[in-house]
């Protein structure tokens, strides 16, 4: 972020204007703020929040272009519905959960990036492989007003049968 004092915050607004109600804020040194789209005048950017979307002033953000030299940003939170599942990548590790089941800690195996998407592989024990396919695309969970900046697909290879899960992903913690 640019121009935010150490003791200040970047306000998240309900609409793309400074007089709109404040929905939340980012701390002064926040990183990986996921921009869903930019206003017509390019002064405001829409970001995702836990149950909806908000707007932040672009003049305070340092935009970094997508390129093929990056790794997948952490934290990255992916989830889906029908069935409900979540795959969360953090600097400390990766975990997978499904509704009604215990959390599974996964071992990171590899990552690869090729525009426009990326791929990450994880293992659960010696015989189960999880492959996350990530692609920038605006999408929805179809249950809230929240928009997401990435589609996420998880292919699970297992001796008792393979599975394919569809979902959505967001960088960083949801606000």
Q: Which residues pair with 152 in a beta bridge?
A: 134, 167
* Mean pLDDT score, 161-169: 95
Locate the DSSP E strands across 14-146.
22-26, 35-38, 44-49, 52-57, 76-80, 85-90, 93-98, 104-114, 117-124, 128-140
Question: What is the pTM assigned to this prediction?
Answer: 0.76
User: CA 128 to CA 130: how far, in whole Å?
Assistant: 7
Q: What is the pLDDT of residues 71-80, one digit of tens each?
A: 677 888 999 9
Going by C-alpha positions, the residue among 45, 26, 14, 16 that lies closest to residue 172 is 26
The answer to whether residue 21 scores a pLDDT higher than 50 is yes
Distance CA 83, CA 97 (A): 11
**Tokens (6 digits) for 19:** 């007089």
pLDDT band at 175, cuts 50/70/90? very low
Count of CB atoms within 10 A of residue 2's CB? 10
């Amino acid at each position: 972020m640019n121009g935010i004092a150490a003791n200040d915050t970047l306000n998240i607004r309900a609409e793309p204007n400074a007089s709109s109600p404040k929905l939340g804020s980012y701390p002064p040194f926040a990183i990986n703020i996921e921009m869903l789209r930019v206003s017509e005048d390019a002064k405001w950017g829409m970001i995702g929040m836990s149950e909806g979307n908000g707007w932040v002033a672009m003049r305070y953000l340092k935009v970094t272009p997508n390129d093929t030299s990056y790794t997948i940003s952490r934290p990255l939170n992916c989830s889906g519905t029908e069935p409900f599942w979540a795959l969360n990548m953090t600097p400390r590790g990766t975990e997978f959960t499904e509704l009604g089941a215990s959390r599974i800690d996964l071992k990171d195996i590899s990552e690869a990036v090729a525009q426009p998407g990326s791929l990450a592989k994880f293992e659960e024990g010696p015989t189960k492989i999880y492959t996350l396919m990530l692609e920038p695309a605006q999408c929805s969970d179809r249950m809230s007003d929240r928009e997401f900046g990435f589609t996420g697909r998880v292919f699970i290879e297992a001796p008792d049968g393979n599975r394919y899960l569809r979902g959505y992903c967001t960088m960083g913690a949801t606000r």
